[in-house]
Amino acid sequence: MSDSKRPLTDHVTKASQPDFSRLGWVVAVIGTALAVLFLVLWYNALTRQHELEAMAGKVDEANARLNAALAENQKDKDQLDALQKQIADLQQEKADAAQMAKGLEQEMRSDLESKDVTISKLQGKLTINILDRVMFNSGEAELQPAGASVMRKIAALLAAHPNLKIHVVGHTDNVPIRPEARSRFASNWELSVARALSAVHFLTEKAGVDPRRVGAVGYGENRPVADNATAEGRAKNRRIAIIILPDEVAAADTAPAAQSLQPAPLPPPPALPPEVTAPASPPN
């Protein structure tokens, strides 16, 4: 039988043969899709890598800042600890100084206080007021034996407290210098300064007090503590004040004219240096 005479089998045979043109198109589409997918995945991976690298850089930068902050915080903590220790040390020193001052005050009250020697404490300053009748004869600046005894006791008590400063302050009443003494003391100012210097010389030359600790000043009649209108008041005003104070208080003391004195022979009144004598006008 010829081919033309087998129409049914011809149709089946043609249908079973593959259509290579359509298959190639499908393959091309799939290949293109895979290529696009690969490109997309590659681009995403590359972008992600860049993002990860940028993130890693930011993490490193953040870690560096964190470490710097931790180091600075530790430095601040160390400084704070040092300051707290310094404050604690200062508070302990203050407490020790207060205890020492209290002990010194008690010792002085026990050994010195009498009707002629009074002791007071104000604003960190311990003051020993000694009436002139214990220290000097009327109108004179030469230290008497009773006054020397008081000065020795004060020096002995202060020997255990080498950091304390000593201001010796001379005061008088308002009675003018008698005529026969004016060749030595032109006024009560000169007399008060000469008496303060006499006490200072005794403390430094006879009682062993370091002269760098001592200063002297005279106020004459200008800082009375009692009424000069009465004999009793004038007696209270004629006095030597021994002011004992620590360094920090000494720097801001209310007696700014006080000067440290080296041991030297007591000069005659006209030769007293200007920085030791009282100012030309009364202080306020």
Q: 148: Cβ–Cβ under 8 A, 6 or more apart, which residues?
A: 202, 206
Q: What pLDDT shows up at residue 176?
A: 94
Residue 44 — very low, low, confident or very high, per pLDDT cuts 50/70/90? Answer: confident
Residue 145 — very low, low, confident or very high, per pLDDT cuts 50/70/90? Answer: very high
Q: What is the mean pLDDT of residues 92-112?
A: 76
The Cα 149–Cα 241 span in angstroms is: 16
Beta-carbon count within 10 A of 236 CB: 19
Nearest to 150 by CA among 167, 130, 164, 170: 130
Nearest to 168 by CA among 249, 81, 244: 244
Confidence check: pLDDT of 15 > 60:
no
Residue 108 — very low, low, confident or very high, per pLDDT cuts 50/70/90? Answer: confident
Confidence check: pLDDT of 271 > 60:
no
Residue 136 — very low, low, confident or very high, per pLDDT cuts 50/70/90? Answer: very high
Nearest to 236 by CA among 135, 129, 113: 129
Q: 57: Cβ–Cβ under 8 A, 6 or more apart, which residues?
A: none
Q: What pLDDT shows up at residue 200?
A: 97
User: What is the model's pTM?
Assistant: 0.58
Q: What pLDDT shows up at residue 195?
A: 96
Q: What does pLDDT average to over the chain?
A: 80
Confidence check: pLDDT of 50 > 50:
yes
pLDDT > 90: what percent of the chain? 39
Residue 4 — very low, low, confident or very high, per pLDDT cuts 50/70/90? Answer: low
> Which residue matches tokens 């007071």?
120
Q: What pLDDT shows up at residue 19?
A: 60
Q: What pLDDT shows up at residue 97?
A: 63
Nearest to 170 by CA among 238, 233, 114, 229: 238
